[in-house]
A = this chain, B = another copy of it.
Amino acid sequence: MKIYDNPGREQWASLTARNAIESAPVGEVVSSIITRVREEGDSALFDFCRTIDGVSLTSLEVSEAEIESACERVSPELKASIESARDHILRFHEAQRMSPVRVETMPGVCCYQRAVPIDQVGLYVPGGSAPLFSTVLMLAVPAFIAGCRHVVMCTPPDKSGSVNDLILFSARLCGVTHIYKVGGAQAIAAMAYGTESIPKVNKIFGPGNRYVTEAKQQVSRTEVSIDMPAGPSEVLVMADETAYPEFVASDLLSQAEHGPDSQALLVTSSHAFAEQVMNCVEQQKQILSRASIIDQSLANSRIIVLDSREKMTDFANCYAAEHLIVSMENPWDIVSHITSAGSIFVGNYTPESAGDYASGTNHTLPTYGWARSCSGVNLDSFTKKITIQEITPDGLQCLGPIVESMAQAESLTAHRNAIAVRMKTLNSKKC
């Protein structure tokens, strides 16, 4: 990790830059996968399972028996941990319910806003090097709180045709009953267009590799909504002399192990602290299992030394981190000035990994600078807000002339006419 001492603001654009993501070659591969799934349905999915996942399946849906025996294999201790995490996520997302809005904007004109669940949602849970069962909790818990009626899940099978026990246990715990052994771009296509086995959904959630992300972007142009654009995971740690270098080092490392393209930034008030953190990183790395991934992602990482809390805060806002750790004196004062971040971790005893699993916040968060304009997954993500209005005859007598004059000024005479025919009826009733 390179240390940059008090870089001028003209250098911030390059210091807040993410690793470039290539997408052109992936785009064509993904679009051909989508076309095949649309045209051939299940038969294309079975074929991709053979050629990509290396397994011949006889059924795409995970059976009840498979789920039961998976659950039996999970240790009671781990079950209890997952259940606690589920409870925390449930409690925090339950509290996000909006109150229905009702406003009488003028006498006789009532406007309402209600959150209504999205009927059919699809959850994608990656397989691969680590079985991300925590993602099941993060997506399925709010889906059911929101009231989505149909929740389906796709996840790739392993070489033996099975799905990881912890993924199945977590799905069962959250109430997901329809789970399909399909991964990659083909899973996204199946949920977007529907096949014989897999129902078409209205919105697709979940992380994935470049193929999955590209597929989500392609299907979202015409068919379904998606949770957010996803890029490599990232953390920015703000730390002053009140922070512990060994804690900061552990947070940078936990980000770095996600993947070779992950990015970890440290913004600190002290060069000496930066050096201490680098020493701790070297020490702690020795005992970790994913050292080669960590080495690659640390190559994308930076330490920035800045000489004021204001500059440090500005830099953090400029970067718009997915995860922002604030290990500073008076951290809530900093937090109140943060304008862009996915999720914020306050103080020395709030590591990112707590939020990744079990504090209660969602870990599906905007990366790659999207935190400037996008929220992480939350209860809202599984609903749409519908507005309703009701106008009484007396209300229309007052509002009508306003609408008529505006419609006339926009040259939309049929809009004016819709008021006029009603006013005429009201006036004739009066006589």
Contacts and interface: CB of A to CB of B under 8 A. Distances in A.
A254 B390 contact: no
Given A78-B409, A98-B98, A254 B384 contact: no
A414 B257 contact: yes
A215 interface: no
B414 A294 contact: yes
A370 B407 CA distance: 26
A221 interface: yes
Contacts of A244: 425
Contacts of A405: 77-78, 81
A340 B224 CA distance: 14
A250 B421 contact: yes
B113 A378 contact: yes
A155 interface: no
A158 to B, nearest CB: 14
A410 B105 contact: no
A169 to B, nearest CB: 10
Given A95-B101, A339-B116, A387-B344, A358 B399 contact: yes
Contacts of A358: 399, 402-403, 406
A367 to B, nearest CB: 13
A270 interface: no
Contacts of A338: 116, 386
A116 B373 CA distance: 10
Interface residues of A, number: 127
Given A203-B373, A384-B375, A353 B416 contact: yes
A409 B254 contact: no
Q: Give the oligomeric copy count.
A: 2
A225 to B, nearest CB: 4
A289 interface: yes
A417 B119 contact: no
A106 to B, nearest CB: 6
A319 interface: no
Contact of A119 (B353, B372, B396): B372
Nearest to A121: B373
A164 to B, nearest CB: 10
Contacts of A344: 386-389
Interface stretch (A30-38, A41-49, A131-139): A131-139
B335 A388 contact: yes
A130 B410 contact: yes
- The residue among A77, A251, A359, A416 with the most chain B CB atoms within 10 A of its own CB is A359
A406 B254 contact: no
A251 to B, nearest CB: 6
A357 B406 contact: yes
B389 A385 contact: no
A296 interface: no
A387 B417 contact: no
A166 interface: yes
Nearest to A289: B413
Give the 10 A-B residue pairs with the shortest CB-CB distance, closest first: A105-B360, A88-B105, A225-B373, A353-B415, A346-B390, A250-B418, A351-B418, A375-B385, A257-B414, A361-B387
Given A287-B413, A352-B418, A378-B387, 16 more contacts: A85-B402, A95-B101, A96-B113, A116-B338, A133-B410, A247-B418, A247-B421, A284-B417, A288-B414, A289-B411, A343-B389, A349-B426, A350-B389, A356-B407, A359-B391, A359-B399
